[in-house]
Chain A
């Protein structure tokens, strides 16, 4: 693998929305280079455009201007090379756990035996064996998100995009899944772009935390997190970084609040 070359290259990305007849500048002049195997968190208050940026990388809504390259070629549409995990889990309720995981492989046209093998290994990897025949409605939030992660891993995509995947989970389940994700990431060497509004989550997970400004979304701070893993959230070093990021985020949050009081559109 080309260790140092950019895996995802975002250059001069702008995004303008039409909202209520007015232009909303969601992203402005974003430049980011993400290397192979890097774990990057996008952090910011609501309305900072972090999900907009993720959706642009996923190919769901192309930028108004600027370029996003993945492995050297510009992206034009969504694709299984950039598997996405959504906050709302988005499992297909009419499919069982194993059918959900197998779906991407069926689309690819993978042979039946190979699908079974892959699904079995993913069920094992995410501790889902006992739930393979269940439907999503019978699973807890944490279990559903495990299935969603397994569904993306089934694609063997080099890149994982995660849109506040653990936002709806309780604290313990959340930590548990964060650890699980780190284990998978180290094992599978994926490039991960992860959106969150939790400072602690970003510092716990990421190699790099990119703090974004409130509307228009720009890169306010690109912070390398060099703490050794597993990270101790109670350590002084962790808390020093947390304090630093809190300060940055607070400034943006207050701009967001002012806008909200003025009755501006907030997503």
Chain B
């Protein structure tokens, strides 16, 4: 019962905000072109979600038709870029971070360069990325990779450096080789940090994908809301923004579920 009451109270403020918004537009207090009513946004969102054409078996399967709506195509395009950039950036950062955390020599070699490059926001690479890769997916994926690279790198380095020395002593006492120490002790001990880094990286990747689509790609959620502005379709802009929010929430939920499953041994995650 308590749980339901909790949920009910959580829905109160959003409902009030929605009602206020509806009031604003239905009373004509604001221009509908600037702020369309919630109903108008939902209608637009539904139209955006549905397939553009009537189902035609000659064009392919029913499932394919279901996913042919503009919104789904945009969301899948954005998600594809996010994942590709995340795995390239994170995939490069992870081995480098492990090496930097483990070896002082490697740390000494790479850290100065990293510290100089790290404060440059991924957005600042836009001109260069277009110059190097032109338009389309490559510059977007490049920017997202940069956004995902540094959080994974910094957290992996910290994770390896902060492995409690008692575990290493136990490992030596049990006769573990350096390789076993690394794979069975250092790596698992660093995973909570690495997961934190991956979650931050995913958030950054999601910000960068929207920006890069506004500039270098001609599909995706970021592109779509900028396009809608040119036609003054404010309802579509807001519908697109909500879609971005939902997709971001979905990604973060998956990441946090995954990490609490993989780190179920970890003390700090008991409350999930």
Residues of A in contact with B (beta carbons under 8 Å apart)? 58, 60, 77-80, 82-84, 86, 88, 90, 92-95, 103-104, 107-108, 135-137, 151, 155
CB A134 to nearest CB in B, in angstroms, measures 10
Chain B minimum-CB-distance residue to A83? B173
* Contact of A82 with B173 in the complex, beta carbons under 8 Å: yes
Chain B minimum-CB-distance residue to A100? B170
Residue in contact with B166 in the complex, picked from A83, A88, A108, A155, CB distance below 8 Å = A88
Chain A residues near B185 (CB-CB < 8 A): 92
* Contact of B166 with A90 in the complex, beta carbons under 8 Å: yes
* Contact of B172 with A93 in the complex, beta carbons under 8 Å: no
Interface size grouping (class) on chain B: 20 to 34
CB A81 to nearest CB in B, in angstroms, measures 9
Whether, in the assembled complex, B33 has its beta carbon less than 8 Å from a beta carbon of chain A, the answer is no
* Contact of A94 with B172 in the complex, beta carbons under 8 Å: no
Chain A minimum-CB-distance residue to B170? A90
Chain A residues near B189 (CB-CB < 8 A): 92, 94
- Among A78, A82, A86, A155, the one with the most B-chain Cβ atoms within 10 Å of its Cβ is A78
Chain A residues near B264 (CB-CB < 8 A): 135
Whether, in the assembled complex, B175 has its beta carbon less than 8 Å from a beta carbon of chain A, the answer is yes
Kindly identify, within residues 123 to 178 of chain B, every residue whose CB is under 8 Å from any CB belonging to chain A: 166-167, 169-170, 172-177
* Contact of B265 with A93 in the complex, beta carbons under 8 Å: yes
Chain B minimum-CB-distance residue to A105? B174
Given contacts A80-B173, A151-B174, 15 further A-B contacts (CB under 8 A): A60-B169, A60-B173, A80-B175, A82-B173, A83-B174, A92-B167, A93-B265, A94-B189, A94-B191, A94-B265, A103-B174, A107-B175, A108-B175, A137-B265, A155-B174
Chain A residues near B176 (CB-CB < 8 A): 107
Chain A minimum-CB-distance residue to B164? A90
Chain B minimum-CB-distance residue to A136? B265
User: Given that A93-B267, A94-B189 are known contacts, is A86 also in contact with B175, CB under 8 Å in the complex?
Assistant: no
Residue in contact with A86 in the complex, picked from B170, B174, B180, B266, CB distance below 8 Å = B170
User: Given that A78-B169, A92-B185, A94-B189 are known contacts, is A104 also in contact with B265, CB under 8 Å in the complex?
Assistant: no
Indicate with 1 or 0, residue by residue over B173-202, a CB within 8 angstroms of chain A CB atoms: 111110010001100110100000000000
Chain B residues near A108 (CB-CB < 8 A): 175
Chain A minimum-CB-distance residue to B189? A94
Whole-angstrom CA separation of A103 from B172 in the bound complex: 12
CB B189 to nearest CB in A, in angstroms, measures 7
CB B133 to nearest CB in A, in angstroms, measures 40
Chain B minimum-CB-distance residue to A134? B265
Chain A residues near B188 (CB-CB < 8 A): 92, 94
CB A226 to nearest CB in B, in angstroms, measures 32
* Contact of B170 with A135 in the complex, beta carbons under 8 Å: no
Chain B minimum-CB-distance residue to A86? B166
The 8 closest A-B pairs by CB, nearest first: A80-B175, A104-B174, A94-B188, A135-B265, A78-B172, A90-B166, A94-B265, A137-B267
